[in-house]
Amino acid sequence: MKVPKGFFWAGMQAGIKPNRKDLALVYSDTPCSAAGCFTQNLAKAAPVLDAEKRLPADGIRAVVINSGNANALTGPEGLEDVKTVCEAVAKELQVGAGAVVSASTGVIGVRLPAHKIVSSAPALAASLKADPLLAAEAILTTDTRIKLGTRSVRIGNREVTLTCICKGSGMIAPSLATMIAVVATDCAITPPMLSVALRQAMRRSFNALTVDGDMSTNDCVFALANGKAGNAPIADPGSALDAFSGALDELCQQMAKEIAADGEGATKLLDVSVEGAPAEDVALDLAKACAGSSLVKAAIFGADPNWGRVLASIGARAGTAGYAIDPADARVMVQDVAVYDRAPLAYDASVLKARMREPEIRVTVDLRRGEGKAQAWGCDLSYDYVKINADYTSLIVTKPDGGVAKDDRLSNYSPTFKVKLLVDALEYIKKFSGTRCVIKYGGAAMVKESLKKSFCDDIRLLRAVGLRPIVVHGGGPEITRTLEKLGGKAEFIDGQRVTNASDLKVVEMVLTGSINTELVTLLNGNGIAQAVGVSGKDGGLIRARKLVQEGRDLGQVGEVTRVNRDFLEMLLQQGYVPVVSPVGLGEDGQSYNINADNVAAELAVAIGAQKLIYLSDVPGILKAGELIGQLTSADLRALIDDGTIAGGMKAKANSILRVLASGVPSVHLLDGRVPHSIIGELFTDNGVGSWIRA
Ligand code: ADP
Ligand code: MG
């Protein structure tokens, strides 16, 4: 991406938000002309109060922006905090204290933890690069996408570049602030001319934008111009200013559209053009009224070409403002299809409805009353907007150190949301109740104590809603650790452990003596003793013989020959959750260590399970680092053959092929390092890992 000469950006995590980048810096290596446009809200944030009185100005070098806290309605301390932040950043950049302006976005009414920004300033300055991406990420709040754009334009014989980062109007609650934009350009232009150009661009872009009509306390748009393009400085109106303005308009419009499309809960961008108005101002006002109408927005969400609502919103605004127009005389187009022209028109409703499912919806109104025309942007009004708005503020909590966090435990949601969630969940419960399901808990995924606990919580929940789980556990890493402690060494061939006779004692000790016991204890921790720990040797549950793999001797490693189905049935019938340690009783009377993936598969086949779930230490089956969400046996075989699947995954993949061929309808491979991934897979339509079917 082309960026203006002499500009550098940085973005990092300063701990204002719990887990995301929240601090950004835009810096020019030479002094800039700077201009700003600010919110008209009288409840202005402290950084806005500070920057507004200092711009337009010469000699500005940097803008520092934090997300996660708006520093609005924070009293005199808020202004002190702005000063502290600007001074700390200026010192780090070795520029004058007056050369830095700031902006903040996030929660209103909570004091800014300025000390976090101060202590992050050295790292922030040290990470400046000629790349705006991390800064664009750090200013986001409820946005779902980075908003970043660039334009180049020739002025005189020089190429001038403009780059904008901005964050949008995820106005999820009135207490959260909305948009911030910083345009950096290497154009040579005086502060007053930059201010004129910025004001004009605003009118045609960010001011023509509506998501939910709430005006933020923190909106601000900055423009910084450092002159490094070497064009003759623009000091007066004329063709050079027009060329610069044209590029700035375009860039700001692109950003405004991206903000609209990413509005809270939005599924579509709404683009309203009003033409034939008595004046441009009138056209803009009417276009905004239409784009902001809740009824129009709801119709757009429902893919309904409801021109009645379009004209009603325009008529209402024109009536209250006293504009000389007549909606009845207008022509309305939706997705370029004429739907009204001085009278309702006949159109193919199914064709138009299909076109209204596109991500961008154009509504055009010709008022036939003059030359004025304008465009405004908004988005549709979805169920999600209301759902999130109804619940969001109650989920934001202040932390003792001044940061904010989201506490989204179900108890903080509104009763309506909880009811909806339960109704959804009960549908899945109905579907899975009585289902037999074998779950293999991978050794690599069970290293963290907290994960073992959340795994056991999930199993208990599944049991409580009528699922019949059987747990098979691995123990690889722990076996390896114990062997090493005792002076031995782990050896693997194709993901299968090589086990000599003395190692086998250690294997049994760890698997049956330690891991199995621990899981059973955790599962029975709530006082209801439903988990029963069994080794494959108990009751001859798993009979085995020595595994011979491609002619190599793996020692006491076995493969399953038979399963004592009656024993397992008995446990299930009695309502127990069997927890199986993957050791088998040899047909020759010896003990064998069996790969747990293999044991899980054989048990699933033996009891006719509807599901087999592998919890491992990867998000699922990966190809070139990407998760494959759904695949068939044939896909899986191809991945084994082309070498994509290797190591420990190969034992799983072979077991999966075997169970699918034997009538188990679906196998899931999930990330056991993510808490509650079993619940996420079973209780959502798309699941969270890889889902493999025959
Ligand atoms: P577990 O204890 O769950 O059996 P393993 O280490 O035996 O864990 O098997 C999982 C490992 O398989 C992963 O950590 C990964 O390194 C390896 N693997 C090899 N190929 C793939 C693949 N295509 N997709 C995912 N994991 C793979
Ligand atoms: Mg393994």
Q: How far apart are CA 613 and CA 400, in angstroms?
A: 41
> What's the pLDDT score for residue 393?
61
pLDDT higher than 50, residue 174:
no
H-helix or E-strand spanning residue 592: strand 591-594
pLDDT higher than 60, residue 535:
yes
Closest ligand relative to 614 C-alpha: 1
Expressed in angstroms and rounded, the spacing between residue 608 Cα and the centre of ligand 1 is 26
For Cα atoms 14, 16, 17, give the angle at the middle one, nearest 5 degrees. 105
- The residue with greater pLDDT, 348 or 275, is 275
**For residue 189, what are the CA distances in angstroms to 33, 186, 430?**
7, 9, 68
H helices of 356-448, where? 383-395, 415-432
Q: pLDDT tens, 151-167?
A: 999 999 999 999 999 99
pLDDT higher than 80, residue 409:
no
State both tokens at 120. 């992050």
Going by alpha carbons, the residue nearest to atom 21 of ligand 1 is: 645
Of 440-454, 468-482, 532-546, 622-636, which one has max mean pLDDT?
532-546
Q: How far apart are CA 517 and CA 582, in angstroms?
A: 13
- Structure confidence at residue 143 as a pLDDT band (50, 70, 90): confident
Between 57-61, 95-99, 473-477, the lowest mean confidence (pLDDT) is in 473-477
Ligand 1 site-directed mutation target among 496, 616, 652, 670, most atoms within 8 Å of CB: 616
> What's the pLDDT score for residue 454?
85
Q: pLDDT tens, 15-74?
A: 998 778 999 999 999 999 999 998 877 778 999 999 999 999 999 999 999 998 999 989
Q: Looking at residues 83-90, what average pLDDT do you find? A: 98
> What's the pLDDT score for residue 549?
77
pTM of the model: 0.59
> What's the pLDDT score for residue 191?
97
Q: Looking at residues 457-465, what average pLDDT do you find? A: 87
> What's the pLDDT score for residue 584?
96
Q: How far apart are CA 386 and CA 264, in angstroms?
A: 9
Q: Looking at residues 299-303, what average pLDDT do you find? A: 91
State both tokens at 568. 């397992």
pLDDT higher than 90, residue 266:
no
512 part of the active site:
no
Pocket, ligand 1, Cβ cutoff 6 A: 442-445, 474, 476, 495, 597, 616-618, 621-622, 644-649
Percent of the chain with pLDDT strictly greater than 90: 62
Expressed in angstroms and rounded, the spacing between residue 675 Cα and the centre of ligand 1 is 18
- Structure confidence at residue 280 as a pLDDT band (50, 70, 90): very high
> What's the pLDDT score for residue 404?
59
Q: Looking at residues 371-378, what average pLDDT do you find? A: 93
Q: Looking at residues 487-511, what average pLDDT do you find? A: 83
> What's the pLDDT score for residue 220?
87
- Structure confidence at residue 574 as a pLDDT band (50, 70, 90): very high
Expressed in angstroms and rounded, the spacing between residue 623 Cα and the centre of ligand 1 is 12
Half-sphere exposure of 402 (CA within 13 A, CB side): 16
pLDDT higher than 70, residue 223:
yes
Q: pLDDT tens, 122-142?
A: 999 999 999 999 999 999 887
Identify the active-site residue in 39, 105, 141, 178.
178
Q: What is the mean pLDDT of the chain?
A: 89
**CB proximity list for 342: less than 8 A, separation 6 or greater:** 328, 329, 330, 331
Going by alpha carbons, the residue nearest to atom 4 of ligand 1 is: 442
